[in-house]
Amino acid sequence: MVGLSALPAQVAQAAPPQVLPTPQSIVAEGAPVQLAGPVTVVADTDVDAPTKRELTQVLAAAGATVTWSTTTPASGTVIVASVTDAETQALAAQLGVEPATDLNEEGYVVANGVVSGRPTVLLEGKTDRGLFYSVDTFGQLIQGSTMAAAKVRDWPLMSIRGSIEGFYGVPWSHQARLDQLDFYGAHKMNTYIYTPKDDPYLRYQWRDLYPAEELEQLKDLVDEANANHVEFVYALSPGNDICYSLDADYEATEAKFEQLRQIGVSSFYVALDDIEPYLTCAQDLERFTLPGFRKLAEGQAYYLNRIVDGFINPHDLRPLQTVPTNYAGSGPDAYKEQFGTSTDDSILIQWTGEGVFSDQITMASVAAAKVSYNTDNLYIWDNFPVNDGQPDRLFLNPLTGRDADLYQLIAGFTSNPMVQSYASMIALAGYADYTWNGPAYQPEASLVRILDELAGDDPVVREALDVFVDLNQDWRPYRPTSEQAPELGADIAAFWAAYESGDEAGAQALRDRLAIIVDLPDTLESMAVEGFYDDTLPWLEAASEWAGALENAITALEKVDGDRPAAAAAALESRDLRTAATTNKRISGLENPTGNPVKYVPKVGDGRFDSFLTRAYSTYLEELGAEAITSVPLPATGSRSDRLGQWQTNSIDRIVDGDLSTLWWSNTAPQAGDYVAVDLGSVQPIGGVAVHQSDGDEIRADMFYRAELEYSSDGQAWTSLGQFDDSPLITAGAPEGAQARYVRLRATASNPGGQWVKIREFRVFGPDAQVATTVDGASVASAFDAALLTDLTGTAVAGDTVTRTLAEPQTDATIRLLGTAVGEVQAKVDGDWVKVGDASGQWFEGHVRGAVTAARVVLSPGEVALTEFIVVPFVGPEPTPTPTPTATPTPTPTPTPTPTPTPTPTPPGFTPSAPYTLPGLHTIDGRQWSTTCQSYSQTTRCRADIWASVVIRTSSGFQVRKGWAFNNLTYLPYMTRAQWANNPLGHTGAWTASDGRNWYTECDTAKTGRGGCRSYTWTTVFAATAKPGGGYTFSQSNKWVFNNIVMFRNG
């Protein structure tokens, strides 16, 4: 290439754009270079093809018109791209930067300035790979069409940077693997270890050569890896049935490797993980004689060394790699010592850290591991973000927990990604940045950059992706301190603080976040990396349902004091969305023995969404007055599967000791079929069950994660009470008439992550005499448990009932039904059943006067799903605040003379109308009314209450609350004027009642019309006037307030 003359003195510039991975040295010196328009790239004709491809794309994006040349033009913008040589070294000197000569094999230099009047860029690599990486950095320095002034000298601190496709589960598609290799090249990653568990020619048919079609696909991967300067490492897994000393098995290994070498593979790996820890063939047992586990290491070392001597070295291939059978922990043991001592010093050995999953990997741990394995060629197989042990989760955390200076001790890392290849790119980008320059690695900066890349340019999509990633930050149990959905958690905390203080504006942040989550399946469909959307769609849909459940729960809380029918609809819709989110199995796993894929329910935002709903549902039901009606637990003894054992002194008898602070703790993880049970001693009626797992009713730690609750009278035939996933607290009602001696909680699948089990209490309750139903097979306890997630369900026949008997009579009561129960609601008053109203939708509320001892709904034929049956004291009326306040009423004036008795008249034709004379709940002009009617002497008296804001005077001042407020009494036209003659409510006049209050009645006026009277009482009225800036101005006055109307019967 033609030399260039010296450039003018350097001018300091603004800081260059952020480059990731962070270069070892980058300074804002040189001169900005405008790339739009003609640009000449000076490069040899045999310039690295991947570099030429990438540089062409970068320049095209900047608006350049590119000419490729081997000589420098007389004018115009020049880019010199070359592996280091005398000419690039001279140009580096002219640009004031040290050349790439002394960098490691993957180092590079990027610099710019003005040379001989020409804007000039230098891209210099120590090798072709370094030159390729220089183009990536060059592209990041371009903003629009201008390259920022910069001098960069850069090289990786770790020589192995990549991934190992080593997970169990649904394998990546061929296209996904190709896209991964492109991604690695774009992020300066150089290693891809091919060892998918589904490739039979790697494992169970490892001795067989690949058929032509499969070999062609592998060649596609090898070619794509080479096109991105990624090392394709072929990892054979012969350990299940190999005879290490058998010539035929060695020859099969060599033949397989040679087949791969012929398509371009130059890096080979023998995986000895996840196999039986002993020799399996007679010839090995005879040949290898060291004691204990040393014998296995001796045989494996013999086989590996034979590959090095017989295949790797003769073909001048890259060093052989392996993962030993004991691949975790830094402490010494006989196997590790023998393996490291016996294997060839050139072999690279992988290690997973202190555990299979390592929360932290420290300098001290790695140093100890190098000693225990007796090797200087240790590098890490990092089991993050792999999710094959928890296929229902995504781990979208940035990489953390790895000491910054590990490059001083190890050759590098390969990440074991998730089944979802594109979703794994978040973590993989972190590995790229960390392994290149650990001391400069910033997890949050790396996360922001990769989310920008995945989302694309749309800010709405970018914000939505941030919100979704926040929902998948939990890496438990592998990292016990990890926090799930921290940003959602902060908004939830702010919501509850605002709710408790009455600050409606404080809830808006949560509402805004939930709206974004609800729309995730639509919003993220247009993100730049479509594969990420496809990978995560099951979780996006589940998150949307969870968020919808929270939105409706908030609506229920907001409306419970003002619009109870709407609140009920929202609460039940929330419950339905939560059920969908927790039961829809959207994730397909590998096929089971029947040929059908195993399906999983996505977990997303768990610990946040569900905890919020638990509190919201409880708060909502408390506002309605719901309370659980339970009996004392039945005496029982506990038992368990033999497999589950006992950790330390935490014995099984603690599950029935009545103490939630003690527990039974297994000493192993459950498998399908394992159980914990209680024995009631004899067959007896049962009403419900509560199993308190883990360390708390809302803590997901050690517990049964997939379980079924069952009961039996003989221990042989079992009846299910329901299946439960991820439920620290399990509650269930038994069908009416259920009889059992044994109740058990049985695992339906193995626990994820090897979690053990803790049970604090396993309680079985007998039927409660206060509640009953005649609906066949229905669990009556489910309608009286103050729980939104359970229903009394069944098919009613005409006349079936659900009944609540009160422990003691209640003077005046309100009856509320939440859920579906069509029929007539009745109350037992003074020994007689009286109609309160008709239930027909998702909500019923009615009021009844008198001494109430029971309530029931007499059902119409059809399906029943009664969530809660609530009986609470009737809340007395309060005055309504401004601008037109309602006075504190007196429903029944004093004195109340008894009307002159006469024979009971035949009731005339009268049609009741809402809201004053028609019993039931009414909505008129958006206001809620409640009307109850009762016999009064020889007529009927109806009381109308309205749901309104009321002013309460307390010792500290006034408060405004929502509640039912008395409006008026109406006496129906069943008595004549003569029959009211001795009652002051029935003729014009004024009087003073025995309590000192003044009354007056007017009849046959313009207000009353002919044939009626209205009565008023002199009352103190409290009023509240809203202030423009918030709050109220309170006032107090005395005035005449309307109380009741009497309607006369003609005749």
Strand partners, 930: 921, 945
Q: Which pLDDT value is given to residue 960?
A: 78
**Residue 734 gets which letter from DSSP?**
P
**Residue 311 gets which letter from DSSP?**
I
Strand 77-83 versus strand 118-125 pairing type: parallel
The helix (run of H) or strand (run of E) holding residue 417 is none
The helix (run of H) or strand (run of E) holding residue 534 is helix 530-559
Distance between CA atoms of residues 785 and 626, nearest Å: 8
CA dist list (Å): 1002 to 213, 897, 1051: 101, 17, 20
Q: Which pLDDT value is given to residue 1022?
A: 84
Distance between CA atoms of residues 383 and 505, nearest Å: 44
| Residue 530 token pair | 């479509």
Q: Give the CATH number of domain 792-873.
A: 2.60.120.260
| Rg over CA atoms, the chain | 39
Average pLDDT per 10 consecutive residues for the chain, totaling 1051 residues: 38 75 97 97 94 97 96 94 96 97 97 96 98 98 97 98 93 96 98 93 96 97 98 97 98 98 98 94 96 96 98 98 97 95 98 96 98 96 95 96 98 98 98 98 98 98 98 91 94 95 89 98 98 98 98 96 94 97 91 77 95 97 92 92 94 95 95 97 92 87 94 96 90 88 96 90 89 88 92 94 93 95 95 93 92 96 97 65 36 39 48 89 84 87 88 71 86 89 89 84 83 89 76 80 91 62
Residue of 173, 134, 174 whose CA lies nearest to 154 = 134
| Residue 899 token pair | 């009307």
Q: Which pLDDT value is given to residue 503?
A: 87
Q: Are 4 and 121 in contact (CB under 8 A)?
A: no
Residue 74 neighbours by CB under 8 Å, 6+ apart: none
908 preceded by cis ω (within 30°)? no
Give the start-end residues of each E strand in 50-147: 64-69, 77-83, 108-115, 118-125, 142-143, 146-147
Distance between CA atoms of residues 183 and 422, nearest Å: 10
| Residue 211 token pair | 């058929």
Q: What is the dihedral of CA 388, 389, 392, 398, to 10 degrees?
A: -80
- CATH 3.30.379.10 domain span(s) along the chain: 25-154
The correct answer on CATH 3.40.50.740 for the domain covering 160-271+321-441 is: no
Q: Is 183 helix (H, G, I), strand (E, B) or coil?
A: helix
Query: Could you give phi then psi for residue 1033, rounded to 5 degrees?
Result: -105, 125
Distance between CA atoms of residues 364 and 269, nearest Å: 27
| Residue 715 token pair | 């221990």
The correct answer on CATH 3.30.420.40 for the domain covering 470-624 is: no
Name the residue with tokens 């695992």: 747
Q: Are 1 and 71 in contact (CB under 8 A)?
A: yes
CA dist list (Å): 518 to 39, 471, 487, 546, 989: 48, 13, 16, 8, 64
Residue of 397, 402, 424, 425 whose CA lies nearest to 413 = 402
CATH superfamily of the domain spanning 637-757: Galactose-binding domain-like (2.60.120.260)
Q: Are 710 and 723 in contact (CB under 8 A)?
A: no
Q: From the candidates 220, 241, 274, 458, which is the catalytic residue?
A: 274
Q: Are 39 and 170 in contact (CB under 8 A)?
A: no
Identify the sign of the CA torsion 895, 901, 902, 904: positive
CA dist list (Å): 787 to 147, 382, 615, 619: 63, 43, 11, 11
Residue 342's CB is within 10 A of a number of other CB atoms, namely 18
Distance between CA atoms of residues 33 and 143, nearest Å: 10
- CATH 1.20.58.460 domain span(s) along the chain: 470-624
Ordered alpha helix ranges (H), 2-95: 49-61, 86-95
Q: Which amino acid is at 101?
A: T
Give buried/exposed letters for 429-444 (b at 16+ CB in 10 A, else e).
bbbbbbbbbbebbbee
Residue 574's CB is within 10 A of a number of other CB atoms, namely 24
Residue 274 known to be catalytic: yes
- CATH 2.60.120.260 domain span(s) along the chain: 637-757, 792-873
Q: Which pLDDT value is given to residue 1031?
A: 72
| Residue 664 token pair | 């039974």
Angle 622-628-632 from CA coordinates, rounded to 5°: 150
Helix, strand and coil content of the chain, in percent to the nearest 5, comes to: 30, 30, 40
Q: Which pLDDT value is given to residue 14?
A: 65
Q: Is the pTM of this model over 0.85?
A: no
Query: Could you give phi then psi for residue 340, rounded to 5 degrees?
Result: -65, -35
Residue of 118, 190, 179, 192 whose CA lies nearest to 157 = 190
At the second CATH level, the architecture of 25-154 is 2-Layer Sandwich (3.30)
